[in-house]
Structure 1
């Protein structure tokens, strides 16, 4: 298994051999580290003032890999755990090696050349044999949005017999001007994604690795869903958690907080409007579904007439942030007893939420993939079945009133869609009819005579005969 990095440091007043400082590996001294099932070597085929190339070579022993308990992935036949492409082709093993060999470089640190570590430099990367589940086109789709020029060529099964066609491998060459840390993190995430067959058990700590390596780029990637699901071995609950955390780390609401200079922010108006509707309903037991960092929860706790507030989110990190924001440990005992945190997904049935007076989905539905909306409706309106449900979501027609929002862009990079007023009404009326609720619609924010309000609110009430 083989990979090379090359640079000439063009435009940088430094010899190309200074590349060794960035990688924290001396060009004059080959090095090796142990990885699962073998050794990872780093050496320099060339290191001159004009050009420097670093190579990573993995020596994988399939028997040692199996004995370690990491090589038992199904390969389609009995001896597949011993006879496979792991010693020869790039895979998650190579990503692990990159993490071990270049951990400091991946963090963007270089005490000897800090100015060089912070700069984008010309880079050329070559992976001669990369398993690519999706072909050369997928390699282009994953790397090109990150600023790389991609040359991905399918490797023939046998060059001497063209009629046999191509293998599942590509010869991948990347070129671009990027920070070395960014380049290493791209490879660390995307090599196992393209291979789509991790050699080790994927647990919740892999979410931390993905979020850490994907910081600053993955949250806005057009294929972030595919990347997250493949990196996390298609474990949906882990991928959903990763996507939530990426949105928190990288996504900022682009335009909607202050629609008019000097006015109350839309976030504040939305929060106070929802709290007002809950007071109007006389709700005493309330769940904030997808609570994020707990802004609405804090508002509800101010009302002593509310007996219980349940804050739920799919992201454990969001719940920790909510506790921190609310100073949970310092709350008076009586107020703390009224508050409960639950890790829960809005698209999965959760009996712990059954029988409440009201549930709130404040700016949540637009973060759910459209095919998952029926699952959301079932979990909230059928399984939980509260007496009332409040849903708020952006009104896409109002987006033209935000000068800083480019045409066709959503207000938040993690939004999967944004509805017009008619689209929202169609969805809400359909849900109400299906699950025996009534529904009414209210504006949040200034109600523009042409495009409506910036936020639209639907109030669902469970019909008397269904109680």
Structure 2
């Protein structure tokens, strides 16, 4: 299995093409070998001079290692485990090697020459054999929208017998001017997509990998649904969850996330190999795209509309000091930071990983914006005296992630203990789910949702909370409003009621 990456000296550049070695963290002057769970990876440079440099990654696959640990009772226990195309054709094995051998480059880091990591380079990538049952046009469909010029040549079943026709393998040549990190991320995701299978067991962590290495290009790709289905080998539950999360990331910036470590034990087994894949319904033109919350005529995503609605609600209640409770990766914080109406913005989340990503994103803001934003770790079901006294708090797509028995604890911590002047709450409208193709009855939009409420259920909850803690509440739709089932997202704006004695005391 072979991959070559060539770089020519960029025009007007003051550095040679051999600086590709700095980006890959592999010295062009020597051969390096890396043990893998399934064989050995070699990195060497067939050519390396000032005008052109080529790095080669060659995998020697040991078929015996691939099946080590499998019992005789597994469905795929047969000669096919030992006699297959894995030693020769680019597949998920090559993606794993990219993440382990070129992991630093894949994540866009270059300590010695950081400017190189951000430079678009003239690249040429060659893969002698890529499995692609859809034919060369599928290679074009997935790589061309990313800025590549694609040449995909079918390989004959046997050159000695041309009448046998072409195989489902193609030789792939990609040329383009891109950052090396982007090029590697394209290969990491799309090689298993073209193959349509993986050599290890898939679980929900695979969704995180797809979103991590697809950030910056997957959400806007015209074939994103097809890519998602193929990357997740048509596992219906995983695909549905991934599409829902992609909808929430439609306007997210690419992030340099932590490097992943492939589990060598998991790589040795895929119990579902050869089983019949579940089909995912296609989107119907002019209707909501499967669980994404968008229609084919793409306007602003639901995630964008939701943040804009919350922003307007905060301005309407006159808030200047704001809490974003369950801030996640700082999407709303970055929406609010440029508005000088907000003098202090605090993001609170229970996940240190989410806060770590949020902090990196906030560092990209101008200093005058970021200095008004702070992050804190905290569980929303526990009271925190430091959160008391703010003008407003936001629970944007948060309450549905809380177990129902714990929801009253959250109500007390937010409305009772913190008691901000206003609280803005958004949550999915379960009635709207019937407008999503492929979302079965009773299935939530996100696998982590503990519940999803109808408009009546949300109104009942909001009314009880308002009465208990002395707030008035009004409701607003978010996104296009269907005449029968309402909006996709429902929003409640709570404002604290002050009695006469409170006003006299304040005076």
TM-score (normalizing by structure 2): 0.58
User: Which moves more between the two structures, 180-189 or 156-165?
Assistant: 156-165
SS at 1:170's partner residue?
strand
SS in 2 for 1:220: coil
**Counterparts of 2:213 and 2:162, CA distance in 1:** 39
Give matches, 1:244-323, under 5 Å: 244-249=244-249, 251=251, 266-268=309-311
**Cα deviations by residue, 1:198-235 (Å, 9 ceiling, x for unpaired):** 00011222222222211211122222222222222322
RMSD of Structure 2 on Structure 1 (CA): 5.1
Q: Is this contact kept in 1: 2:158–2:164, CA < 8 A?
A: yes
CA offsets 1:261-296 (integer angstroms, 9 cap, x no match): xxx9643557999xxxxxxxxxxxxxxxxx99999x
Distance 1:93 1:70 in 2: 21
- SS for the counterpart of 1:22 is helix
1:179 and 2:264 are equivalent in the alignment: no
Matched, 1:169 2:169: yes
Larger deviation, residues 229-238 vs 32-41: 229-238
Whole-Å Cα distance in 2 between the matches of residues 73 and 142 of structure 1?
34
Alpha-carbon distance in structure 1 between the residues aligned to 2:59 and 2:82 = 17
1:217-256 aligned at under 5 Å gives the runs 217-249=217-249, 251=251
CA contact (8 A) 2:21 2:27 kept: yes
Report what 2:107 is aligned to: 107
- Counterpart residue number, 1:159: 159
Once residues 302 and 208 of structure 2 are traced to their aligned partners in structure 1, the CA distance between those partners, rounded to angstroms, is 30
1:328 aligns with 2:379: yes
Question: Greater helix percent: which structure?
Answer: 1
Q: Distance in 1 between matches of 2:245 and 2:29?
A: 41
| Alignment size in residue pairs | 360
SS of structure 1 residue aligned to 2:152 = strand
Is 1:84 equivalent to 2:88 in the alignment?
A: no
Q: Which runs of 4+ in 1 moved over 6 A?
A: 70-75, 255-259, 270-273, 291-295, 363-369, 376-380, 383-386, 455-459
Match of 1:29 in 2: 30
Q: Contact conserved, 1:36 with 1:68, CA < 8 A, in 2?
A: no
3-state SS, counterpart of residue 122 of structure 1: strand
Q: 5+ residue gaps in structure 2?
A: 253-298, 317-327, 333-352, 359-374, 388-394, 406-424, 460-475, 493-507
Aligned-partner SS, 2:441: helix
Paired residue for 1:58? 59
TM-score, length-scaled by structure 1: 0.62
Whether the 8 Å CA contact 1:215–1:250 is kept in 2: the answer is no
Residues 1:394 and 2:460 are matched in the alignment? no
Q: Structure 1, unaligned stretches of length 5 or more? A: 274-290, 296-315, 345-349, 353-358, 396-420, 429-438, 442-454, 460-467
Aligned to 1:188: 188
